[in-house]
Amino acid sequence: MLQDFIAQNEKETRAGFGEGIHEAAKKNPNVMALTADLAGSLKLNAFIKDFPERFVQVGIAEANMIGIAAGLTIGGKIPYTTTFANFSTSRVYDQIRQSVAYSGKNVKICASHAGLTLGEDGATHQVLEDVGMMRMLPHMTVIVPCDFNQTKAATMAIADYEGPVYLRFGRVKWPNFTAENGSDFVIGKAQVMNEGTDVSIIACGHLVWNALEAARALEAKGISCDVINMHTIKPLDEAAIIKSLTKTGCVVTAEEHQINGGLGDAVANVASRNCPVPHEYVAVQDTFGESGKPADLLKKYGLTTEDVIAAAEKAMKRK
């Protein structure tokens, strides 16, 4: 199955969001877009051109944006809030908890420029704690798609999904390799990209491509890899995790996030309750990022294909 995933091109996942919200708005007149002074960065130009009456420019007032979005849901609207992931979570966590999650409001919190691959803007903007923060909130669905196509599909899918959603995506151009029509994306259902018997590799976001590349290199060495794209962190596809770990007996999780609180911890929770196995994390090791080129930052902080390979080999030795 690894040969089925080939990079068709390189595109920004945020551009997938821009196309997705435009398509969602065509299909559903209740879809609205709100932004905190970042319409261009969130690729909202097509939406604004075709649906100006459904666009709200809040300005640099993220907390106010969340409050407005919560209010709009009372009238049946489906508001998508848009800003950088750091400002979508850390800056407005109280408003999300109190006004959105607590009452289960149908707000879609769409967060761009997540992780280290934001690049030169540096540590103040490279949020690495957001998945942990959002998955802890009751009622919150957390989705981290892996490429342009899947981000577009997820953006469209959440319009028909009742309840608050956190959708996380990025700035950098990245290999685009999933189905163009989004047929391989279902909220809450893991995408199994390869069947293997020696090691499970479970990844989300940009690190799914690195996981695929690592699996190709490992299979060239005779190591058989289960590769799972866990694009939905909550609700988590526990059945897929248990099935994979029971078969392989060890696991690597890979994510552009802190080692604490993210995908790795979510998988570890399932494993500890059902099928404890050796587990290696490919994640940021409890530190802030810094300014730099995305590829250089991924290398420095241990999130490359080579790091996934090393983690897989280490996990296998621990069996």
* CATH architecture of residue range(s) 9-176: 3-Layer(aba) Sandwich (3.40)
Q: How far apart are CA 283 and CA 203, in angstroms?
A: 10
**Would you give per-residue pLDDT tens digits along the chain (319 residues)?**
898 899 999 999 999 999 999 999 999 999 999 999 999 999 999 999 999 999 999 999 999 999 999 999 999 999 999 999 999 999 999 999 999 999 999 999 999 999 999 999 999 999 999 999 999 999 999 999 999 999 999 999 999 999 999 999 999 999 999 999 999 999 999 999 999 999 999 999 999 999 999 999 999 999 999 999 999 999 999 999 999 999 999 999 999 999 999 999 999 999 999 999 999 999 999 999 999 999 999 999 999 999 999 999 999 999 9
Distances (CA, A) of 88 to 62, 96, 262: 7, 9, 17
DSSP bridge partners of 109: 81, 166
Q: Where are the domains of the chain?
A: 9-176, 191-318
Catalytic member of 12, 19, 23, 62: 62
What is the pairing mode between strands 173-176 and 9-12? Answer: antiparallel
How far is it, in rounded angstroms, from Cα 252 to Cα 214? 11
Contact 81, 65 (CB under 8 A): yes
Residue 215, CA distances (Å) to 42, 95, 225, 280 in order: 32, 41, 6, 15
Structure tokens at 311: 């983690």
- pTM higher than 0.95: yes
Identical topology for domains 9-176 and 191-318: yes
Give the bridge partners for 226, in sequence order. 200
194, 215 Cβ separation under 8 angstroms? yes
DSSP string for residues in 74-108: HTT-EEEEEEEHHHHHGGGHHHIIIIIITTT---E
* CA 180/CA 123 separation, integer angstroms: 33
For 208, phi then psi, to 5°, come to: -65, -40
Q: Is 12 a catalytic residue?
A: no
Architecture category of domain 191-318 in CATH: 3-Layer(aba) Sandwich (3.40)
Q: What whole-number distance in Å separates Cα of residue 30 and Cα of residue 65?
A: 17
Beta bridge partners of 82: 35, 110
